Amino acid sequence: MSGAGTACFHCGEPIPAGFAVTARIGDRDQPVCCYGCKAVAEFITGSGLGDYYRYRDANSTRADESPRPDRWTAYDKPELVERLTRAEPGGARSMTVLLEGLRCAACSWLADKALRLQSGVLDVSVNPATARARLVWNPDKVRLGDLLRVLESVGLRPHPISGEPAVQLALLERRTALKRLAVAGLGMMQVMMFSVPLYIGESSGMDSDIRQYLRLISMLVCLPVVLYAGWPFYAGAWQALRARGLNMDVPVSLGIVLAFVASVFNALRGEGDIYFDSVTMFIFFLSVGRYVEMIARHRAGSVADALARLAPVTARRIRGNSIEDVQVIDLSVGDTLLVRSGEVLAADGLVLAGDGRVDESMLTGESAAIAKGPGSRVNAGTHNLGAPLEVRVEAVAGDTVLSGIVALLERAHAERPRIARSADRAAAWFLSRILIGAALVCVAWMFVDPSRALPATLAVLVATCPCALSLATPAALAAATSALARRGVLVAHTDAFEALAASREVLWDKTGTLTQGLVKIEEIQPLAKLPANRCLELAAALERWSEHPIARAFLAVSDETETATDVEVHGGEGLEGLVAGRRYRLGDERFVLQLERHPRDSERLAAPEKSGWIYLGDSEGPIAAFRLTDQLRAEARDCVSALEGLGITSRIVSGDQVEAVARIASRCGVEIFESRMTPLAKLEYLKDLQSDGRIVAAVGDGINDAPLLRGADVAVAMGRGSALAQTSADFILVRDSLDEVPATVVLARRTKRVIRQNLAWAFGYNLLVLPLAALGFVPPWLAAIGMSLSSVAVVLNSTRLSRKSPTVDGGRWTAVEQAKAAG
Amino acid sequence: MNIIFVLIPLGLVLVAFGLWAFFWAVGSGQFDDLDSPGWTVLTDDKSPPDGEHDEPEGQIK
């Protein structure tokens, strides 16, 4: 279990060497990996919510080392609350928030209980499937800001969602899909109930009026299934045809409509075969597949959620001499904003004053912050790491660069160009063969006996379409999807199985994918007389004033014994400030040496390699050097070699420096790597590979990986990565571990094999039986039994995919096992 | 055998009623979250008394 001594009690991440801090949990001390996790774990158990650790089945998100309670003060203002929230009866207010880090039912229980402990909270409903919570509270008794603070202090970061309609839309979509599924399922069962007597009646003799009665009843039951449950397929097909394309919905709709129309025709005239059972079964199985896919897609999050996480809700507007907090939607072009250090820009604009450094990595992939002075342009969603900026707003909301990217993604998503390729090629091929075959039959019968041309043609169309397609593919995909869901891999697009099975190349992002994406201090080299611990304290005292990712590395391993005053952030260079009356600098080598009273030869500094080291110094000279690295994921190497065993070559494409990429590449055994790649360069590299006819998979986590993921034949996103990357992905690794990547590939290949077997069986059966039946050698009762057995064989073959493998949980103590042990 | 001319429509009416009940349940939000209600029953309010359960290693009491 997580308290084994090497992993953090709260988040399960490895504890940095030499970091011996524990959290007091009940009457025991549990090891934690950082002060953030310590605070969260102690808060949770201190509030009497320790049961959370018993029941959770996924580790918590690593806590932010520097939670900023003032982040939520804007939400204490009544006028803002009024606009962001909705009025409820009795003067209460309600609001929906997206909870980052909500992973399982236990997390949602934790959020629920933590909120209900607050007085003034009237109702809470947390949905783990969508990671959303709806709060209803009495604004006279508790402030919204306090509720959001409580959520953050239990480790679930709230993102107030302004896009309430999107939430409602997703809910509505899910409810409608469930209703359609119920109609299809019940309809299928009823029709089957009437079909079996008809099959048997064929051989044992049945009154013709009862037979006709059953056929008409079948038609009646089939009608709502075809009209209501099948509706999404016709809508999808119509959309594709209007865009002059073919997608999977086209043959599906054609199959449904043809089979249904022919059956109605035969049922009304009282002779000929009816296929109501095939039609309902077809719609039901396809609907199950679509439903599972939709749940995964909702879970992955919509683009609106991604925006909610990126862009701030409030901004500071300068009006004359006063500064006011306003909602972002109230900003207009020409307003002047004040963007303090550590804040996210709310709009695109021109810098009027200030000397800041802006982290644009989410837009450009460049990891180093870029200096911005008067006259430079800044973009919404980017992060100011330097001094405060005064910015004149030039574009807001839908006109910003960020919205442009999101809109692009949304469009690409709706059109699904990449996914359409493989699945639709197969569908179009299948469809064209059937149409050609039917046309040939029709022409042949025209010569032999024109009166039998239409029934024979219909028989070919109807018998081949539903039988071959209805079960073969959807049943296998549904089984594979549920098998992966149990392993913590969400399948957002089932069509991607085929591409994954065929891929021979995988492109890895480095930061956050192969590595943990967290900078950690790997080595401390004292350069003066001070011990390493003291150096760390001094550095941490300075870093507490910084918002840079590096600061987290220091704060995670210090316990706040020192405080710094007068701290100044020098954009791009480092920090300077007073600790215990002494002036220190922390930052790059040149910057630190400038503070020295008697400048010496900088050669004296023992720096093995310049990149990755930062220095601490005072007026007497340098005191210590720290080496910072991003930790490689423990499973990365095994994952790469396992993929190699499957014949898949790994390549790293990273925006980082050459040395950093090379070090990671050699440590996880990847031979081919590219460094300093912008998102566009990554995409071009990918296109190059694809133009050689290779099928390429991509694994990434960041916003800058989103274009790469979208362009790849199959995309995998990390569960803790950015929401935007997840919306572009086909597979999402919920447990945020690479372990499941090779397993997913293996399963995708097995799925493809099973689909092939199913199709071969269905094709072979039809090929054998159709001509025989057409020539009158197969009596109807035999054909009926044969068809049923054929369907059962296909379903049984598919369920082989969902067989549970013994290594699913990696030995973790799951809630279920706990329940068994307790019971 | 003529009884089926009555019984089957009766069955269909029952199916329609079941479907209506299901639609109502979905519409009133009962299927929106299928995971957490189960857990809330298990963990509702009172934490297990100290030392009575054979708790796994590393658990909170």
A477-507 pLDDT per residue, tens:
777 877 787 777 877 777 788 888 888 899 9
Give residue-wise pLDDT tens across range A92-103.
888 878 777 666
Per the CB < 8 Å rule, is B60 touching A818? no
Q: Which pLDDT tens digit goes with each residue over A42-68?
A: 777 777 777 777 667 666 666 654 445
| Smallest Cα distance from A201 to chain B, Å | 13
| Closest residue, chain B, to A183 (C-alpha) | B19
Does residue A214 have a pLDDT over 80? yes
Q: List Cα–Cα distances, A315 to A312, A382, A396, in angstroms.
A: 7, 13, 12
> Which CATH number belongs to the domain containing residue A99 in this structure?
3.30.70.100
| Sequence-ordered strand ranges (E) for A55-148 | 86-87, 93-100, 121-127, 132-137
Q: Where is A631: in which H helix or E strand?
A: strand A621-632
Asked if A763 and A787 sit in the same domain, the reply is: yes
At A79 the pLDDT is 66
Find the angle CA(A649)-CA(A654)-CA(A660) to the nearest 5 degrees: 100
pLDDT at A553 over 50: yes
Task: Give catalytic residue positions of A.
Answer: 509
Q: Are residues A720 and A762 in the same domain?
A: no
Note whether B52 contacts A: Cβ–Cβ < 8 A. no
Contacts of A708 (CB under 8 A, 6+ apart): A507, A509, A653, A679, A682, A683, A686, A698, A700, A715
Same domain for A191 and A224? yes
- Containing domain of residue A689, as a range? 488-516+633-747
Mean pLDDT of all residues in A76-86: 69
Probe site for chain A from B7, B10, B59 (most A CB atoms < 10 A): B59
The more confident residue out of B9 and A796 is B9
Entry pTM: 0.57
Is residue A522 a part of any domain in this protein? no
* Residue A628, domain member (yes or no): no
Q: Which residue of B has its CA nearest to A113?
A: B45
DSSP, collapsed to helix, strand or coil, labels residue B17 as helix
Whether residue A352 is found in the same domain as residue A460:
no
Q: Do A185 and A280 belong to one domain?
A: yes
Tell me the per-residue pLDDT of A221-258, one tens digit each, with 9 for 90 and over: 999 999 999 998 898 888 878 877 666 677 678 778 87
Is residue A414 scored above 50 in pLDDT? Answer: no
Query: Among A186-190, A370-374, A786-790, where is mean pLDDT lowest?
Result: A786-790
Which pair of structure tokens corresponds to residue A101? 């880090």
Q: Are residues A252 and A342 in the same domain?
A: no
Strands of A383-384's sheet in order across = A370-372, A356-359, A383-384
Give the C-alpha separation, A132 to A112, whole Å. 11
Answer whether B32 touches A (CB < 8 Å): yes
Nearest Cβ partner for A818 among B5, B38, B56: B56
Phi, psi of A504 (to 5 degrees): -120, -5
Beta bridge partners, A525, equal: A625
CATH number of the domain enclosing A720: 3.40.50.1000
What residue of B is the nearest CA neighbor of A105?
A: B36
A461 Cβ partners below 8 Å, 6+ apart?
A258, A259, A262, A434, A438
Of the candidates A738, A514, A509, A515, the residue with the CA atom closest to the CA atom of residue A628: A515
Q: Touching check for B20 and chain A: CB below 8 Å?
A: no
Contact criterion met (CB < 8 Å) for B47 and A51: yes
Contact B58 A3 (CB under 8 A): yes
Judged by DSSP in three states, A646 sits in coil
Contact B1 A109 (CB under 8 A): no
Structure tokens, A345: 């820009």
Same domain, A296 and A421: yes
Residues B12-50 as b or e (16 or more Cβ within 10 Å = b): eeeeeeebeebeeebeeeeeebeebeebeeebeeeeeee
Size of interface A-B (CB pairs under 8 A): 99
End position of a domain, from candidates A26, A45, A66: A66
How far is the alpha carbon of B11 from chain A, nearest alpha carbon, in Å?
9
Phi, psi of A780 (to 5 degrees): -55, -40
Give the total number of structural domains in chain A.
5
Determine whether the interchain pair B60/A213 forms a contact, defined as Cβ–Cβ distance below 8 Å. Answer: no
Chain-chain contact of A125 with B33 (C-beta, under 8 angstroms): yes
Do both A152 and A272 map to the same domain?
Answer: no
Domain boundary among A133, A160, A187: A160
What is the distance in angstroms between the Cα of B41 and the nearest Cα belonging to chain A?
10
A342 in the same domain as A292: no
How far apart CA A683 and CA A728 sit, in angstroms, is: 14
Q: In the prediction, which pLDDT does A84 show?
A: 67
Segment A592-613 mean pLDDT: 59
Q: How confident is the model at residue A73 (pLDDT cuts 50, 70, 90)?
A: low
DSSP 8-state secondary structure symbol assigned to residue A342: T
pLDDT, mean of residues A388-395: 82
Which contacts qualify for A805-808: CB closer than 8 Å, 24 or more apart? A805/A487, A805/A743, A808/A486, A808/A487
Chain A closest CA to B5's CA: distance in Å? Answer: 8
Instruction: Please state, rounded to an integer, the average pLDDT across all residues of chain A.
Output: 74
Asked if residues A158 and A98 have their Cβ atoms less than 8 Å apart, the reply is: yes
Question: How far apart are the C-alpha atoms of A743 and A484, rounded to whole Å?
Answer: 9
Given a cut of 90, is residue A600 above it in pLDDT? no
Strands A489-491 and A314-319: unpaired
Q: Which pLDDT score, from 0 to 100, does residue A185 have?
A: 93
Binned at pLDDT 50, 70 and 90, residue A178 comes out as very high
Mean pLDDT of A17-44: 72
Residue A423 lies in a domain: yes
Residues in chain B within 8 Å Cβ distance of A213 = 4-5, 8
Band the pLDDT of B35: cuts 50, 70, 90.
low
Q: Best-predicted range by mean pLDDT among A300-304, A625-629, B31-35? A: A625-629
Q: Is the ipTM of this complex over 0.90?
A: no
Rounded Cα–Cα distance for residues A796 and B16 (Å): 31
State both tokens at A573. 């260079």
Give the residue from chain A lying closest to B52, CA to CA: A822
Residues A719 and A769 in one domain: no
Region of A712 please: left (phi>0), alpha (psi -120 to 50) or beta: beta
Taking Cα atoms as reference points, which of A810, A814, A666 lies closest to residue A739? A810
Q: Give B38's contacts in chain A (Cβ within 8 Å).
A: 105
Which residue of A47, A54, A123 is the best one to mutate when testing the B interface, meaning the one whose CB has the most B CBs within 10 A? A54
**Which residues of B fall within a CB distance of 8 Å from A126?**
33, 36
- Measuring CA to CA, how many Å separate A515 from each of A97, A149, A361, A512, A628? 30, 30, 17, 5, 13
Q: Give the best-scoring range by mean pLDDT among A518-522, A743-747, A753-757, B40-44.
A: A743-747
In tens, the pLDDT along A259-298 reads 788 889 889 988 777 888 878 887 887 787 677 667 766 6
A608 is a domain residue = no
In a domain, A560, yes or no: no
Q: Are residues A420 and A401 in the same domain?
A: no
State residue A566 phi and psi, 5-degree precision: 60, 30
